[in-house]
Amino acid sequence: MNFDLTEEQISIRDAAKDFAENEIAPSAVERDLTAEFPHEIVKKLGELGFMGMMVSHEWGGAGMDTISYVLAIEEISKVDASVGVIMSVNNSLVCFGIEKWGSDFQKEKYLKPLASGNLLGAFCLSEPEAGSDATHQSTEAVLDGDHYVINGMKNWITNGVQCDVYFLQAMTDKSKGYKGISTFIIDKNTPGLEIGKKEDKMGIRSSDTCTLGLNNVRVPVENLLGEEGIGFKIAMETLNGGRIGVAAQALGIAQASLEASVKYSKVRKAFDSTISELQSIQFKLAEMSTDIESARLMIYSAALNKDNKKSYVKEASMAKLLASQAAVSCALEAIQIHGGYGYVREYLVERFLRDSKITQIYEGTSEIQKLVIAREILRS
Ligand code: CAA
């Protein structure tokens, strides 16, 4: 496996790093406090091609590979993991799904503006009674002439308040279980959609998360993605790629925690030297760095398989499992290295811990990743 980055990948990483440091970092602390959505930043990300990175040029995307995508998400999440998830949901869930299963009409109407950052997408699978157990959908879509009438409730929707388009799963035939689930593209201004309260979250506070009620929402048949009954397959396959994005987001948080710890340990003095001279601190840095590099290699492996059109189900779940563990443990260790300063808002590391935890929960909990990995191993 060759993980040498190409010149193009390096230039994309550098562009993302530059944008993150100059355009995102200055407002990151304030937005964490106010939980304000980064409208201007998302607009500029669209102009740079970062909202539809892997979408082909034909449909208004940047036509980049998954490794480039991972590099960009890592750089952006190092500075602000909220922006990382806004970008990742639009790229790997919504754009990917529409490009893979959408009709030309859907690609023209939705994918082009989503890929160029003119529209923002949200992914709606989870329900109050269907989180990890995602086959258990209650939201129902009933055909009525040339429209589907959709009723139900979705929750934990990233971008749910600020988006323009919902990518939503609903049951078209309850008797068929998960083979009766279908996917719809729904315009936000459709009557009957009720955006619930914005969640007051522990971390990734400037990305918005909400519930979505659907009360007799009429969706034209041309907004059904693919055909009836393949919605669960669409959800699972988009989530495989989404898990690579979340893993890259987690990697960014872990890397930021390490870099902050190295910097602090070289200036903080104790016992007549900087604390970087102490073996107790060195061991922590060594373990953090080892966890990060393991996660990075696993993420690249999943991304490379995806780009080479090989199966990446197991690798994506392994990457998310490892990287999210690394994010939480590196953020915790970063706080420990900073001592009392790590526990207060004056330093960034307490935010890294708050932002890290969700990476073990959304787009499939760590327990679900283990289940997916085990099933893939047992199947082979
Ligand atoms: N890739 C492709 N197909 C998959 C798959 C995967 N990762 N996981 C399951 N499938 C397929 C199975 O092969 C099966 O299809 P066939 O019958 O055609 O073979 C079908 O899906 C049903 O699978 P199971 O029989 O294994 O069903 P299960 O109920 O035992 O397990 C599950 C399913 C793996 C637990 C699944 O429900 C799951 O992944 N749950 C987690 C859901 C999740 O990640 N939610 C995150 C929501 S998005 C989000 O976080 C919001 C956001 O905005 C960030």
Torsion 46-47-49-52 (CA) sign: positive
Q: What is the mean pLDDT of residues 208-229?
A: 98
In which band, very low, low, confident or very high, does the pLDDT at 119 lie, cut at 50, 70 and 90? very high
Atom of ligand 1 nearest to the CA of 371: 34
State the Cα–Cα distance between residues 67 and 69, nearest whole angstrom.
5
> Which of 3.40.50.880, 1.10.3720.10, 1.10.540.10, 3.40.50.620 is the CATH number of 7-120?
1.10.540.10
Q: Where are the alpha helices (DSSP H) in the chain?
A: 7-19, 25-34, 39-47, 66-79, 81-88, 96-101, 104-106, 112-115, 231-267, 279-307, 313-338, 349-356, 366-379
Q: Which fold has domain 233-379?
A: Butyryl-CoA Dehydrogenase, subunit A; domain 3 (1.20.140)
In which band, very low, low, confident or very high, does the pLDDT at 2 lie, cut at 50, 70 and 90? confident
21 is catalytic: no
In which band, very low, low, confident or very high, does the pLDDT at 298 lie, cut at 50, 70 and 90? very high
| Fold: same for 7-120 and 233-379 | no
Q: So what's the pLDDT on residue 365?
A: 98
Q: What is the mean pLDDT of residues 288-294?
A: 98
Domain 122-228: CATH superfamily, name plus number:
Butyryl-CoA Dehydrogenase, subunit A, domain 2 (2.40.110.10)
Q: What is the mean pLDDT of the chain?
A: 97
- The percentage of the chain sitting over the pLDDT mark of 70, rounded to a whole number, equals 100
Token representation of residue 42: 């998302």
Q: So what's the pLDDT on residue 380?
A: 80
Nearest Cα residue to atom 23 of ligand 1:
135
Q: So what's the pLDDT on residue 312?
A: 98
Segments making up each domain of the chain, as ranges: 7-120, 122-228, 233-379
Nearest Cα residue to atom 36 of ligand 1:
134
In which band, very low, low, confident or very high, does the pLDDT at 197 lie, cut at 50, 70 and 90? confident
The helix (run of H) or strand (run of E) holding residue 157 is strand 147-158
The reported pTM is 0.97
Those residues whose C-beta lies under 8 Å from the C-beta of residue 88, and which sit 6 or more positions away, are 73, 242, 245, 246, 248, 249
* DSSP labels, 261-330: HHHHHHH-EETTEEGGGSHHHHHHHHHHHHHHHHHHHHHHHHHHHHHTT---HHHHHHHHHHHHHHHHHH
Pick the catalytic residue from 23, 99, 350, 363: 363
Nearest Cα residue to atom 52 of ligand 1:
158
Atom of ligand 1 nearest to the CA of 362: 50
- Mutation probe of ligand 1 site: the residue of 239, 305, 376 with most atoms within 8 A of C-beta: 239
Q: Which residues line ligand 1 (CB under 6 A)?
A: 89, 123, 125-126, 132, 134-135, 156-158, 178, 232, 236-237, 239-240, 313, 362-364, 368, 371-372
Q: What is the mean pLDDT of residues 156-160?
A: 98
Burial of 144 (0-12, 13-18, 19+ CB in 10 A): exposed
Q: So what's the pLDDT on residue 3?
A: 79
Span 247-274, pLDDT tens digits: 999 999 999 999 999 999 999 999 999 9
Q: How far is the CA of 176 from the centre of ligand 1 (A)?
A: 16
In which band, very low, low, confident or very high, does the pLDDT at 340 lie, cut at 50, 70 and 90? very high
**Whether 51 contacts 90, CB under 8 Å:** yes
